[in-house]
Amino acid sequence: MQTFDTFEYRCQGRRPATYAALGLGMAMTYVNHTTDAPLLAWVLVSVFLAVVLRVLAVNRAAGLRLGHGRFQVYDGAARRTVVLAQISGAEIGRGTCRLHLVGGAHVSLPRAALPPASRLAAELRQCGVPVQFGTAPAPRHVLARR
């Protein structure tokens, strides 16, 4: 019996760049207020701030967890779990990863859930999954909701 350490990668909406965008929006609001800016400037700043605040409030997360004989992928509310024994190989391309399953099916992983390609390849190889680098074709199967 093999034992695996758990590898987890997570990407979420709350990042330093999002907070920098919030600061920029607040600064633009201050400039609009102090210079008596026209209505159009207020509308543009308001829309910008609304988008930034929505990203911060929703905090959409995507990522993957690899370990304990399972490969779990999540992107927002969509989740997919694949048993490692069912994965016959992986094809990693530019910003894409496609898992080939034993039955001939393919699972394309969401771009937001992918760690750097070299790290993903190393973790998959450590679990005994053969990895091939190349340009993977466009995803045919999207992450199904459970």
Q: What is the residue extent of each domain of the chain?
A: 12-58, 62-133
Of 1, 5, 2, nearest in space to 123 by CA: 5
pLDDT digits (tens, 9 = 90+) for 44-94: 999 999 999 999 999 888 899 988 889 999 888 888 899 999 999 999 988
Q: Which residue has the higher pLDDT, 30 or 107?
A: 30
Query: Alpha-carbon distance 109 to 80, whole Å?
Result: 9
Contact in structure between 42 and 31 (CB atoms under 8 Å): no
CATH architecture of 62-133: Roll (2.30)
Q: Using CA atoms, how far apart are residues 27 and 29, in angstroms rounded to an integer?
A: 5
The DSSP string of 90-131 is EEEETTEEEEEETTS-EEEPPGGG---HHHHHHHHHHTT--E
Task: Say which range, 108-117, 118-127, 131-140, has the weakest mean pLDDT.
Answer: 131-140
